[in-house]
Amino acid sequence: MTDMGGAEQRSTAQAVATRLWNSRWLLAAGIVAVLTVYGFADMSLYVVLLVCAGLLLAAAMLPAGVARHSAEDAAAIEAGGLQQLSGEYLAAAVADPLIIFDRTATIVHANAAALAAFGGIAPGMSLSLKFRAPEMQALLDSILSGAAASDVVDYTEKLPVERAYRVSASSVGHDTDLYVLVFKDQSEARRIDRMRADFIANASHELRTPLASISGFIETLRGPARNDPAAREQFLQIMHNQTGRMARLIDDLLSLSRLEMKPYLKPGTEVDLRQTLDSVIDSLGPLARENSVAIERDFAKGPLNVPGDRDELFQVFENLLENACKYGQSGGRVVVTIAHSDDGPEPGIDVTIRDFGPGIPEEHIPRITERFYRVDVENSRTQKGTGLGLSIVKHILTRHNARLSIKSEVGNGAAFTVYLPAH
Ligand code: ADP
């Protein structure tokens, strides 16, 4: 404690001295001015001394930012700070796994992140034995042989779970004879890259299929069906359907990307669920009639408001109700329920859309909200599905801090429940 107090006093004295030194010209000018006034005016020596002492005090207390640091001051501050810094503390402050090793590739120190990531490493252990992968051996060789002052490789750790790292190795300094390895975890970035590539492949495939069909019919219309009016009518109708399919897909893709572009929900707007669901039911009336499905309402009494974006919630219920009318058509009816929910951690409102169709086999339920995932691809296509409806639903609900739960019994329909927090 005493040592710390002494060091603090020393550093305060140093800071005061630095400030005085930095303001030396200003001070000198001030003192000369006071002495000149003393020479010409009728001022007592006592007052002059008092004014000079005041000037010195003001210079010593001048804020650090006001004082102009010279390059030497900066160097002195840097050297002083670095002297107190231990390699161990520096390694601990690095969030990525970091290993310090010596010329014989023996571990000298591993920070907490490295100990957590690579079980069983300890000072004294050989790095070459721990990391046997050829790319890691090559990295160690190139650094220890002096062929490069620093080098980078991609390395995948297989166990206990697969993790992809970008590993950089560099020499710590000429005199130390020590080297450092830093592991940057790339697993999440790789996963996102893979998802993006899959998404583009799926979207391209979905667009390519109708495009191939349209281009095939154009060829037929120019060739064998050139003079066949009946075939022409039929082919034009198919082409019209296929362009509709492409347009729906593009609309859904744009919806998804718009949702991704605006990650935060505008706060402060209330949505009246009763009114929103009434409008959704009205807008899907024609589809329900076409599919001979009766839509029943079971709405709780009183106000049914939640914070949220009305257009986005409209899209959620529209997608769910449309699916219920299309895929649950054979049940002949769909029930839309709005109920207060007091079971969860906070009060909210549950909206359930229940159909009585074939239901969804259990194994598909966990994946059903993934982009382009369908239980039956052909059925989805004939129902004008894009495979993106439920992923749009999931996206919007995440933004609303809401939850989707799906219950289904094969042969007995499906129930999609949206829980929306009331505040
Ligand atoms: P789609 O555009 O194909 O309808 P969705 O993301 O909305 O895409 O739905 C994904 C899949 O989930 C559908 O293709 C369908 O197989 C299945 N599905 C959705 N809702 C129901 C439901 N109510 N009953 C049975 N299957 C459903």
Nearest by Cα to 261 from 122, 399, 362: 399
Q: How far is the CA of 212 from the centre of ligand 1 (A)?
A: 25
* Exposure letters 193-225 (e unless 16+ CB within 10 A, then b): eeeeeeeeeebeebeeebeebbeebeeebeeeb
Per-residue pLDDT of the chain (423 residues), as tens digits, is 334 445 556 656 666 676 667 667 766 766 776 666 666 566 676 776 776 677 677 766 665 555 555 788 888 888 888 888 888 888 999 999 999 999 999 999 999 999 999 988 999 999 999 999 999 999 999 999 988 889 999 999 887 788 999 999 999 876 778 999 999 999 999 999 999 999 999 999 999 999 999 999 999 999 988 999 999 999 999 999 999 999 999 999 999 999 988 867 777 899 999 999 999 999 999 999 999 999 999 999 999 999 999 999 999 999 999 999 999 999 999 999 999 997 767 899 999 999 999 999 999 999 999 999 999 998 998 899 999 999 999 999 999 999 999 999 999 999 999 999 988
Q: How far is the CA of 364 from the centre of ligand 1 (A)?
A: 10
**What are the helix and strand counts (H, E) for the chain?**
15, 12
pTM beyond 0.85: the answer is no
> Whose alpha carbon is nearest atom 19 of ligand 1?
323
Domains of the chain: 9-61 (no CATH), 88-189 (3.30.450.20), 193-261 (1.10.287.130), 270-421 (3.30.565.10)
At 34, list the tokens. 């006071």
Instruction: State the closest ligand 1 atom to the C-alpha of 388, by its place in the atom list counted from 1.
Output: 6
User: In sequence order, which ranges of 41-133 are alpha helices (DSSP H)?
Assistant: 45-60, 71-83, 87-93, 112-117, 127-130
Instruction: State the closest ligand 1 atom to the C-alpha of 369, by its place in the atom list counted from 1.
Output: 6
Strand partners, 414: 408
Nearest by Cα to 22 from 75, 68, 78, 55: 68
Q: How far is the CA of 151 from the centre of ligand 1 (A)?
A: 50
CA distance 356 to 334: 7
Choose the residue to mutate in 316, 352, 374 for probing ligand 1, maximizing ligand atoms within 8 Å of C-beta. 374
> Is the distance from CB of 401 to CB of 421 less than 8 angstroms?
yes
Q: How far is the CA of 394 from the centre of ligand 1 (A)?
A: 13
The burial class, CB within 10 Å (0-12 / 13-18 / 19+), for 93 is: exposed
DSSP string, 155-173: EEE-SSS-EEEEEEEEE--
Ligand 1, CB cutoff 6 Å, lining residues:
319, 323-324, 327-328, 355, 357, 360, 368, 374-376, 380, 385-390, 414
Q: How far is the CA of 405 from the centre of ligand 1 (A)?
A: 14
CA distance 184 to 173: 22
